[in-house]
């Protein structure tokens, strides 16, 4: 019996001691990003441009509902090209992905949108489709578009490759 009491004594002592005082929890302040602050952020840390992806008839479009899309990716099956267009006129478009950043000369369409075309096998399309979480498109005089890398761009690429 003394043996059992000797083994239980530390547990009784622990049960009688007062618990350590709880430290107050202090929440870290939530950073507030203002429009000027986003210019200082790395492109991968900027908030997404408002909008959603939509897909129909071999075309993926991105932008807010109810207005012309900010970006479209279309499979032109007749010419075997994938055409990317953005709203606004510029001389070149820069596409940033988690793999690379490259610029292409852009043409201005009759609708005032800037356009670049790719062969369906172009590795830049795989970089867009498999970019980690996002990609971005920008050009001189255009507002940068930071886009979530959802399935719609990859679907356009697959449509044109088959």
pLDDT digits (tens, 9 = 90+) for 67-106: 999 999 999 999 999 999 999 999 999 999 999 999 999 9
Q: What is the pLDDT of residue 41?
A: 75
Does residue 54 surpass a pLDDT of 70? yes
Q: What is the pLDDT of residue 108?
A: 95
HEC readout, the chain: CHHHHHHHHHHHHHHHCCCCCCCCCCCCCCCCCCHHHHCCCCHHHCCCCCCEEEEECCEEEEECCCCCCCEEEEEECCCCEEEEEECCCCCEEEEECCCCEEEEECEECCCCCEEEEECCCCHHHHHHHCCCCEEEEECCCCCCEEEECCHHHHHHHHHHHC
Q: What is the pLDDT of residue 14?
A: 59
Q: What is the pLDDT of residue 162?
A: 84
Q: What is the pLDDT of residue 45?
A: 84
| Interatomic CA distance for residues 99 and 95, integer angstroms | 10
> Does the global pTM surpass 0.75?
no
Q: In the block, which residue shows the tokens 């292409």?
A: 104
Give 1-40 pLDDT, tens digit per residue: 555 556 666 666 655 666 667 766 666 565 555 555 556 6
């Amino acid at each position: 019996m003394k043996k059992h009491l000797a083994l239980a004594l530390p547990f009784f002592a622990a049960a009688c001691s007062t618990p350590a005082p709880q430290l107050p929890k202090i929440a870290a302040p939530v950073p507030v990003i203002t429009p000027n602050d986003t210019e200082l952020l790395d492109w991968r840390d900027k908030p997404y441009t408002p909008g959603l992806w939509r897909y129909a008839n071999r075309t993926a479009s991105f932008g807010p509902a109810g207005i012309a899309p900010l970006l479209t990716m279309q499979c032109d099956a007749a010419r075997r090209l994938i055409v990317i267009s953005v709203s606004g006129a510029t001389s070149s478009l820069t596409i940033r992905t988690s793999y690379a950043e490259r610029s292409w000369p852009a043409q201005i369409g009759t609708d005032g949108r800037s356009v670049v075309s790719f062969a369906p096998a172009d590795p830049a399309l795989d970089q867009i489709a498999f970019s980690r979480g996002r990609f971005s498109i920008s050009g001189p005089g255009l507002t940068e578009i930071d886009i979530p890398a959802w399935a719609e761009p990859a679907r356009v690429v697959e449509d044109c490759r088959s």
